[in-house]
Amino acid sequence: MHVDCDKEGFLKDPTQWSNAFMEAVAQEEGLRLTTEHLAIIHFFRDFYFQHRLTPSQRVLVKYLRQIWPQEKASSLYIQTLFPKSLMLQASRLAGLPKPSRCL
């Protein structure tokens, strides 16, 4: 599988994304993907292709409150899923560009 990534591992073209790419990134990040990870990753992709930007954590939590139990639809719980950085890890797993508001 060959895809064009920038020096930080973000896809240059989000349409090159695949499940194989996502699994490879998860392995690099030391993550074992669950259905909860996948819900967030797919939300990131859907939001990006609809709005051409990465959703904020606030937008994500608001969405998750509609589909998850209250104890899981929180910033603290999401941080356990993406311990390094929600925005960076989820964006990279979703095959999206690095969010502009991340250093």
- Which residues participate in catalysis according to the annotation? 102
Residue type at 97? P
Measured at the alpha carbon of residue 25, what is the angle toward residues 37 and 85, in degrees to the nearest 5?
60
How many residues are recorded in the chain? 103
101: how many CB neighbours lie within 10 A of its CB?
A: 9
Tell me the C-alpha distance between 40 and 37, whole Å: 5
